[in-house]
Each structure stands twice: as structure tokens, then as C-alpha cells.
Amino acid sequence: MLCAWKLVVVATLVLGTPSLVSARLSGSDEAQQFTQLLLLYEYGAIEDPAVAESIVDVVAKVDRTPAETRLFERLQRPASASFLIPTRHPANLRERLGADSPAEFLQRYVVLEFGRAEAARLALVALKLDRNVKSVSPNGAGEFSVSPSDPLFVTASSPMNYQWGLHALGMPYAWDLARGHAYIGHVDSGVQLDHPDLNYRPQFSYSFDGGSPGEITIPATFPRGHGTHTAGIIAASTSNPTAQNGYPNPPTPIGVAGTCWHCTLLVARVVVTGIPALPVAAVVAGMSWAVDSGAQVINVSLGFPPSGGFQPPNCASDPYDAFCLVLSFASSRQVVISAAAGNGMNPEVQFPASDSRTIAVGAVQSYAGDRGYLWTEENPIGDFRGSNWGSPMQYWGVVAPGRDVLSTAFTNDDWFPQARCGDNGFGSNAGIGYGICTGTSMAAPFVSGLAGIMRSANPLLSADYIRALILLTSSEASAPNQWVGYGMPNGYIAVWVALNSANRLTPLFALYGPYTRNYFYTTAPQMGSAAVIGTMPPYVSTAFNWYSALGTSVPEISVFPRTAAGARRVMGFHHPHEPGQPNVELRPLLRLSFKCGDPLPPGATSVCASYPYHVDHFYSTDYNEAQIYVSAAGYKIDGIEGYVYPYGYAQPANTEALIRAYNPAVDDHAIFPQSLQASMASQGYTVNVTTLGYVYRNNGIRPSY
């Protein structure tokens, strides 16, 4: 909903078409003005004290006490109130987070609805002057910016007929080093759930309005296909007949390759059913959910341009602004954020790419003669003109392929044909779920995918280190400027440095949930933090989903606060090849999950009646075995948690067998070093004892190998 009034919030979700939503809504003056405010109330107020729950309750009441009436008047008599973050943290979780944590501040936000734009405007002015209000801002409108054996990866005569962007970034060389298995937050319009080239993980999905995360449900006023396209750039199912054993590759090569071959997408749909605009609240809540769920990287192919009437928050003077808080929350968890710069060819980088806690990403041309030059649209459509630029690019920006980028597309839907976006196939082969699109929305996912590989190559690197590494290995690092920033990332060099920033052993964080009755293991510190706090999916109830750490701490995780995961029992590899034995192919440790409430196969039994909050994580180094647990026991594949020496080879020196065993009394699988087998057996882990491979025991330092 675009509007000329200066206080309205307008988002140009870098879908390459800032004008698309405005063109469809221009007939409605009311649609072009905000009616909601995002409010952070001062909990410590002496006059009219209130928490988010009491504000929502008081506004909903018809009969109010005198004190409640005074609060209602102070809030400027809103028509309704709701929580900014619909997923509520239980009280004990809030105590563990701390009163001043960004996550807790986001929980304290409410969305006030006033019904009419004029009433919301007057309320905004009054609330800005109220000493009980820590932060207040409009909830405005947004738009999406559009911008290798897989048959569409190979080189062809026209850039529109193959994945030129992956070649331009040098990804074939980077894939020789690592292919990636990180957890990447995808804050977008959702995805086509049944697309054959996307590994949709229902246990890692969220929609702001509580509906399906699939794009099939989004309003007609939004272009269906934006999220499906950006998701494919990040992590389309990539096939290679010589890829490492156990990788979840498609059995038959199809379609396109993803930048990060085996990354797991945490899909957050931030388009709201029934609302013909993109609310700020939805974007903030979607990003918050991704951080809460353990994302290591977040892709934000969207943005809010100042020229559209949105005034980016000044996070230095108003750190309690909702958007500032969610960026601070992500920063506190060391999450890398890749954000699109915008498509207006304006000297302004849209928010949040204009915030230094992100990597701002502009777009470059696809044609061979112009490759590396900033994308410019020869036939502009409204504000869809080319890549934005400005001072943020010079300090924390890069460029990536953005024009005519081939990726997955929503089947049989040309969602923005004026910008060549849709299921337009490659050449004349339309209607098969693949097509090109243009915009900085298409550029940001390349950087997210690259960051995902780097996160996989060394999960313990800080977000600042990852950002600096991407910037300083880009083509213009010696002389960054406000047009292309640090230039085009060099995928090979960035991954090589990340991979060799420490030895290739990585800790496998070990945790136990007393209510979930579940041993859990991960190589991702962010996922470990989510488990400790109690917000990691899948879960039956967040109130009973917290985990405690096991094992020995190592110094590298000090940069990850509250990562219980300081504890770990064993170390495996974060890469499929060990330099000392390059001919030995390491095996991926696949992670699967099941929770009470998931469908059970016919004839299966469950302990959920006794343990209603139960979750089980199952680990395997054999993809065929994992598939059996999916089909026969109702498990879902979460992702890959590093690599181990294969069982059956000669056992390497200083390693222990990695054992998997099952405890039928609580329906839980656990993995552990062989030296702990007697201890685990005493807890009931005595059934289906299996050796998965060999790992190094963690003694507080990285072992030599």
C-alpha cells in the first residue's frame, strides 16, 4: 500500500517491482494509508503500568475498571490490540532470556489497530510524546523485490537459458571445497510446497497469520512465486552422481542447482492472508522466529525504501524500535543477514540493508559484455529501474547476479511478466516450474547461500568474521565504492579461507531435554542456543522444550552467548574430506526428528500418552536408512550435522566409535562415544546398538588428526 503521506511505511521487497503493489492498489486512498501502530510500552512505568498481555486484554474489554479505562485512553482508544510476535515465550523462558534481551523486548511489542488512517496518524503523534512509550512506529505496507548435473546449470548460448550467476561467483570451484549444510532463514512470501526441486521441511516453517507457509495461499495482490524463486537460488535440490555418500540428492538430476547444496531452509511466510500489503510486523516476527529457531543465516529479499515514505529507524537513538531489536537479536546470536539493496536505481539503500548489521546486496547484469556492471533496466516499469546504490554499499555492501537469474518458479504462474519473472522456463520450455527473474531480490540469496557454505565450513566463526570475509574477498575490496560496494564475492576464496580458518574438526554440541525426554546434537551453535532457550523446532510446547548442555566446553564458542552448546562430547568434521586422508570419503551425519502429535504409520505405537512433550532426534550416516525412518516411522529429515569417518575402514588413531542406541521406555535415540556406552546403557539405551563411524573425543581442545 503506497502512500504520499510521509509517515506511512512502504516496503519494496526487492522483487524487482516497487511499483507492482502500488499499481494494483492505486484506486483506494484508504488502502494507501496505515491503520496500525507497533508499540513498545514501558513495563516499569509508575503511571498506568502494563505488560503486553494486559494491553491486549484491556483493549478487548467492553467494561473496564477506572484504571483500565485510563490505560485505554492513554493508548489512544485503539479498536483492537494483538501481539507483534504471535508465538509467545513462557514465563520461565523469559526469565532465562533476561529482561533486557532483544527477544524479550520483541515479546513486549503489541500491534494497535485504529480502523482509520486519520485515527492512527493522530495516535502516532500522541504516543510519541508519551513518557510510558519506549518506541512507536507505523505498521506499513511492503512489496517483494524481484528482481551440477542439474540440466539447467550447464553453460548455454544465452544467460537466460542457464545459471550464469553461479558461474559468475565461481561456485563450481567453491563446491570443490564444500557444498554446505547450514540452516538458513528464508523470510519471504513462502514457497511452493510441492515443487520437485525444493526440499520443504514442514517442521521448520512459519507463517505470520498462522496459515500454510505455501505461496498458494497468499493474496492475489502479491506476486506468487517470489519466495519460490529466491528459495531455489539459495538451496534448490542439487544433484551430482559423484557426490558424497548419503547426501539427500534427487535420484534423477532435474532443474537447477542451489548455491548451498544441502542447506536446510527455515521458511517464514510474511505475507498476510487478506491484507494487500506487507506489514512491518510480519517481517519482524518472521525474522525473530528464524533466529529463535536456530538459523545461522537469514535471507531478506525485501526492503523498505525511504523515498516511498518510510523513515528508517535510527537504531542509535531508538534502539527499542521493533526492527532495531530484531536486528540486535540476530546479532546477539551471530546470525548473518543478507539483505537486498532495492530496485529503484536510486542513491539510497533500503532498510534493513542500510543497517550495518547486514550485508547489503546490489545486483549486476547478466549479459557477458556487461557482467559485473550494476544492473540497469533498459525499459523501466515505474520504480523498477535498476540496482540501488549509496554510502552503505561502500561500507558493508557487495553485488551479486541479479538480472535474468534462472531458478525454481511457481509452476504455471508468470507472476511479473513485465520484468520477465515467472514460470517462463528456459528458452521456449515454459510451464515446468523454472524461470528467470530480475532484481536485487535475486542477488541477496546468492550471498545467503555462500554464507551458508561458509557457516558449514566452520560453524564457530562469528557473524562479523563471515561478513568481513565476504567483503574482503570480493572483486573491489581494495577500493570499495557506493555503487558496487566491495564488488562481486569470490566464492572459492571465501569458502577456502573459512574452511582453513581452523582445523577441520568441529564440535558436536550435546544436549538433553528433561521434558522432551530427548538427547539432541548439532554442529550449529545457533541451533544449540535455540535448544537451550527452548524455542528450537520441532516442539509440542515451548514451555517444556528447553535443553541442558552435556560434555566439555571449548574456548571458541565464547562468541556465542547462552550457547549451552559450550558443551560437547565428541568432534567430527565440518567437511566431507579430511586433508590427511583425502581418499577416504567421510559420511554425513543426517539428523531426523519426530515429535508427539506427528502422524504415526499404521500399527506404530507411541509413548506420547506418558510423555506428551516428547521429541526424538534420530541420526544416521546412511541416507537409505534415513528414508526408511521417514516412510515407516514418521520422522522428518532436518539436515546434516557434519561428517564422521566411515565405519568399516581402519579406525584412525585417537578416535572412538560413535555409537547409536535406542531407549524403548522413552522412545528416544542417542548417539555417544563408545567410552560412554556403559553409562548410557544404565539409562536404558540398550536396543539397536549400532556403530555409525569414528569421531574424536572432546577434551576441551581441538584434537590433532
- Write out pLDDT tens, residues 184-198: 999 999 999 999 899
Report field, pTM of the whole predicted structure over 0.85: yes
Q: What is the pLDDT of residue 248?
A: 66
Q: What is the pLDDT of residue 26?
A: 27
User: Closest Cα partner for 523 from 537, 536, 504, 510?
Assistant: 510
d(CA 106, CA 322): 7
Strand order in the sheet with 80-83: 80-83, 109-113, 36-41, 133-138
d(CA 224, CA 208): 17
User: Closest Cα partner for 393 from 310, 484, 315, 332?
Assistant: 484
Any residues with CB less than 8 A from the CB of 678 and at least 6 apart, and which?
Answer: none
Neighbours of 314 (CB within 10 A): 10
Q: Walk me through the domains of the chain, giving residue ranges and CATH numbers.
A: 35-138 (no CATH), 159-499 (3.40.50.200), 505-697 (no CATH)
Q: How, if at all, do strands 548-550 and 205-207 pair?
A: unpaired
d(CA 334, CA 331): 5
d(CA 518, CA 525): 18
- Write out pLDDT tens, residues 329-340: 999 999 999 999
d(CA 268, CA 284): 11
User: Closest Cα partner for 33 from 142, 122, 118, 137?
Assistant: 118
- Please give the C-alpha separations between residue 150 and each of 162, 240, 623, in angstroms, as whole numbers: 10, 8, 20
Backbone φ and ψ of 98, nearest 5°: 100, 145
C-alpha cell at position 379 = 525499459
Angle, helix 525-533 to helix 280-292, in steps of 10 degrees:
100
d(CA 224, CA 409): 9
Q: What is the pLDDT of residue 306?
A: 75
| Cis peptide bond N-terminal to 538, omega within 30 | yes
**H or E stretch including 113?**
strand 109-113
**With b meaning 16 or more CB within 10 Å and e meaning fewer, what string describes 485-522?**
bbbbbbbbbbbbbbbeeebbbbbbbbbbbebbbbbbbb
- Please give the C-alpha separations between residue 478 and each of 387, 400, 472, 473, 486, in angstroms, as whole numbers: 22, 18, 8, 10, 8
Q: SS3 letters for 532-575?
A: HHCCCCCCCCHHHCCCEEECECCHHHHHCCCCHHHCEEEEEECC
> What does pLDDT average to in each consecutive run of 10 residues of the chain (705 residues)?
22 29 27 78 90 95 95 96 90 77 91 92 91 89 61 70 86 87 96 92 93 77 84 90 62 84 95 77 96 97 77 88 96 96 93 96 76 82 90 96 92 82 67 88 97 93 95 92 95 90 80 94 92 93 88 64 51 62 78 92 77 95 91 92 86 89 95 93 96 83 64
User: Closest Cα partner for 401 from 649, 571, 107, 160?
Assistant: 160
d(CA 705, CA 700): 15
d(CA 251, CA 234): 20
**H or E stretch including 383?**
none
- Write out pLDDT tens, residues 623-654: 889 999 998 888 999 999 988 888 878 888 88
Q: What is the pLDDT of residue 483?
A: 94
